[in-house]
Amino acid sequence: MNAMIKLVVNHTYAAEAANIIRLFYGKTQIDIVNLEALEYNQSLFQANEVLLYSLLDYEDEKIVGRAILNLHDEKKEYSEKYPIDTEKQRKEAVKLIMYKLLSLHLGKTYPWGILTGIRPIKIVHELMDKGFNDEYIESFMPENYLVSIEKAKLAVDIAQRERSFIYPLDTKTVSIYIGIPFCPTRCHYCSFTSNSLKTCGGLVEGYLDALIYEMEQTHVFMNKYNLKVQTMYIGGGTPTSLNEEQLERLLAKAYSLFGEDLVEFTCEAGRPDTITEGKLKVLKQGGVTRISINPQTMNDETLKAIGRAHSAEETVKSFELARKLGFDNINMDIILGLPGEGIEHLERTLHAIEKLQPESLTVHTMAIKRASIINENLDIVSNSGNTSEMMKLTVEFANKHDLHPYYLYRQKNMVENLENIGYSKAGYECIYNIQIIEEKQTNIAFGADAITKTVYTDENRIERQANIKDIKLYISRIDEQINKKLKLLEELYK
């Protein structure tokens, strides 16, 4: 890891500049200093022995970006003119000039270019909404954001597939999220809201009471405004950490409140060590149409190293059991870039998955999140550094098995700045995943740390309300959280 980098600016695009620095210099702390003594629109940063200076200027009513890099006696310069001068353009100009000069200096490029945000496909949708065709967008992305041609094509392909699920927009159709923040133990890479049952098992019943109360109160509001629920998703944590009775109680309530118009009902059964025949039967009887059983890897040594308390064999057995009980829409998640894993490990994982033939496969790239155990001990992150090669292998695998990419998102600090991609067979796309990533539909969320999002489609605006993360506080302050959520919804629907 690099030592702390100092970034001195006299403009309002420090966050954008910092994102580009992180892209090239990795996970590092950046100390941002605003200094008015600096020329307006200037920024300056020093990393290792490099001093990079960048400036936005005006020339013939055009905006000009300039960057100068000094390393000992060596000096490199880059400048470019931009025809439009909007706030967005200035932000992008700051990123572009820094990216281009650092790329030149360090000999590195990144597949998503200057796009450091979570949802690159949103840009494609915006362009499609304005009437631009696929060909135009496939060249617009590389020209304006330095995205590789391959990723630009992928983005267009995904956006086209998503559109039939997103449109026509209807404000009164929503999706529901229900969070179960418990897991048997905590995986080392986890950054989700997850509490180990070993220490927090005693809170489960109280949590379910509060959760169901929150759902009931919100349902009264939803009825009043005739809201329709398109999809429902129970995630976590691991929902199948609940015992059969608890799971049954939750599902019966969720389905009776929100099941009327449902077209898809997903429940994560992520950890194979939580899956039993009894629980799978409860899910089936409770109306669940799609489940997710997540191997992450099919290599036992890695599972042990990342703190997953199950074996690859248990994953296979759970999957086969689910099939036997009639589940015909099963997703599997895998993670590329896990500690110690190389191409041969991934080949083993894919080979095992090939035998199971899930309807969808979600390929995650390792992201080192602040809240994970791995982040606290970076030494255990030592993959073989060829995550891009692994990604290629998964693309080939998906092609071979008629699994099409249907949604994509990115996270901060992803290995090699890659992405997470959901693949599915035709007709098995998870509509919930598309809606949550593209943010064109209101999402009403229940449970600790769950975030309700209201979408104002006409104004391209999103408002959020998060529940409390701490389980005890979530339970004791449930009314306050319901009131805040209803106020947020009232604003949209009044």
Binding site for ligand SF4 (CB under 6 A): 183, 186-187, 190, 192, 194, 236-238, 270-271
Give least dist CB 308 to ligand SF4, A: 7
Give least dist CB 51 to ligand SF4, A: 41
Residue among 43 and 194 whose Cβ is closer to ligand SF4: 194
Residue among 184 and 286 whose Cβ is closer to ligand SF4: 184
CA 26 and chain centroid, separation: 19
Residue among 100 and 271 whose Cβ is closer to ligand SF4: 271
What token pair was written down for 386?
A: 């060829």
Report H helices in 107-174.
Answer: 121-129, 134-145, 149-166
Give least dist CB 236 to ligand SF4, A: 6
SS3 122: helix
Give least dist CB 35 to ligand SF4, A: 41
Residue among 103 and 294 whose Cβ is closer to ligand SF4: 294
Residue among 194 and 297 whose Cβ is closer to ligand SF4: 194
Residue among 236 and 447 whose Cβ is closer to ligand SF4: 236
What token pair was written down for 298?
A: 């099919």
Residue among 99 and 233 whose Cβ is closer to ligand SF4: 233
Phi then psi dihedrals of residue 432, to 5 deg = -55, -50
What is the distance between the alpha carbons of residues 391 and 110, in angstroms, rounded to a whole number?
14
C-alpha triplet 376, 451, 309: angle, nearest 5°: 45
Q: In sequence order, what are the residues at sequence separation of 6 or more whose Cβ sits closer than 8 angstroms to the Cβ of residue 244?
A: 276, 278, 279, 282
What is the distance between the alpha carbons of residues 215 and 176, in angstroms, rounded to a whole number?
10
Task: Give the orientation angle of helix 387-400 with respect to helix 343-356, to 10 degrees.
Answer: 20
DSSP state of 73: T
Residue among 9 and 316 whose Cβ is closer to ligand SF4: 316
Q: State the distance between the two ends of the chain, measured CA to CA, in whole angstroms.
A: 51
Give least dist CB 185 to ligand SF4, A: 7
Of the candidates 245, 99, 186, the one whose C-alpha atom is nearest the C-alpha of residue 373 is: 186
Give least dist CB 473 to ligand SF4, A: 20
Give least dist CB 282 to ligand SF4, A: 19
Q: In sequence order, what are the residues at sequence separation of 6 or more whose Cβ sits closer than 8 angstroms to the Cβ of residue 407?
A: 121, 158, 162, 421, 422, 429, 430, 433, 434, 437, 438
Give least dist CB 270 to ligand SF4, A: 5
Residue among 163 and 186 whose Cβ is closer to ligand SF4: 186
DSSP structure string for 2-41: PPPEEEEESSS-HHHHHHHHHHHH-S--EEEEE-TTSPTT
Give least dist CB 187 to ligand SF4, A: 3
Residue with tokens 């799609």: 290
